[in-house]
């Protein structure tokens, strides 16, 4: 991360952009533990398939799965709607399909952030063609002001304002996913 200048623990500079801590590692981990307990309780006696949306959700999914206390399976989708930009292109492209047979199965989709809802609407529509028993959505972050599609998000970590965020799996041009906290672009 040659182009990142750490001003202090709460401020980083990337080129001419300044980012400030928005959600600390401790806040994120605490909320994920709560979500894991809730989801585990809701799926007692079932064998859900947790489906992560790559690349952004990998860190969240990893930590969430450590807090899931029931038997389950995992799989992944990989989509692209941002490219290297700060805003979505408005088009979704499937880069990797999942491998699991999902007919009559309980699916739990795991996303890092739901912005407009375009990607999630695309995935849910695609999955329903395979006749799963149920489809629920988990998102660490959700931007209510940006939502343009009618999708039900069943488990939300944090509702956030319509601002650009990086860290903890969230990227800018495929970088900065490895930051432990979530940073917001300062105005």
Domain boundary assignment for the chain: 25-176
Which listed residue (17, 115, 154, 171) is catalytic?
115
Q: For residue 100, how far is the Cα from the chain centroid?
A: 20
Q: Give the three-state DSSP class for 13.
A: strand
From the CB of residue 95, how many other CB atoms can be counted at a distance below 10 Å?
Answer: 11
> Rounded to whole angstroms, how far apart are CA atoms 91 and 53?
16
Q: What percent helix, strand, coil does the chain show, rounded to 5?
A: 20, 35, 45
User: pLDDT tens digit string along 76-135?
Assistant: 988 766 554 445 456 677 677 677 889 999 999 999 999 988 888 988 988 999 999 999
Strand 93-96 with 73-80, pairing: antiparallel
Note the pLDDT of residue 7. 47
User: pLDDT tens digit string along 124-153?
Assistant: 988 999 999 999 999 999 999 999 988 999
Note the pLDDT of residue 81. 61
User: pLDDT tens digit string along 17-69?
Assistant: 899 999 999 999 999 999 999 999 999 999 999 999 988 899 999 999 999 99
The topology (CATH level 3) of 25-176 is Rossmann fold (3.40.50)
DSSP 1-59: -TTEEEEETTEEEETTEEEEEEE-HHHHHHHHHHHHHHHHHHTTT---EEEEEETTTHH
Note the pLDDT of residue 155. 98
Largest CA distance in the chain: 52
Q: Return the residue matching tokens 């309980």.
A: 106
Q: Return the residue matching tokens 């940073």.
A: 183
DSSP, res 162: S
Above 90 in pLDDT, residue 75?
yes
> Rounded to whole angstroms, how far apart are CA atoms 130 and 82?
26
115 catalytic residue (yes or no): yes
Above 50 in pLDDT, residue 1?
no
């Amino acid at each position: 991360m040659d182009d990142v200048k750490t001003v202090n623990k709460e401020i980083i500079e990337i080129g001419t952009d300044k980012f400030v801590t928005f959600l600390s590692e401790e806040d994120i981990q605490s909320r994920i533990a709560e979500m894991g307990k809730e989801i585990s309780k809701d799926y007692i006696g079932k064998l859900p398939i947790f489906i992560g949306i790559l690349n952004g959700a990998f860190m969240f999914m990893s930590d969430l799965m450590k807090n899931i206390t029931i038997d389950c399976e995992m799989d992944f989708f990989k989509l692209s709607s941002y490219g290297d930009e700060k805003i979505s292109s408005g088009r979704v492209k499937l880069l990797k399909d999942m491998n699991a047979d999902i007919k009559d199965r309980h699916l739990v989709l795991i996303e890092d952030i739901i912005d407009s809802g375009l990607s999630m609407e695309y995935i849910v529509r695609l999955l329903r063609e395979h006749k799963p028993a149920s489809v629920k959505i988990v998102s660490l972050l959700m931007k209510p002001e940006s939502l343009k599609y009618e999708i039900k998000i069943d488990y939300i970590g944090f509702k956030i304002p319509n601002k650009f965020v990086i860290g903890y799996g969230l990227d800018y041009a495929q970088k900065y996913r490895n930051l432990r906290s979530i940073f917001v672009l300062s105005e």
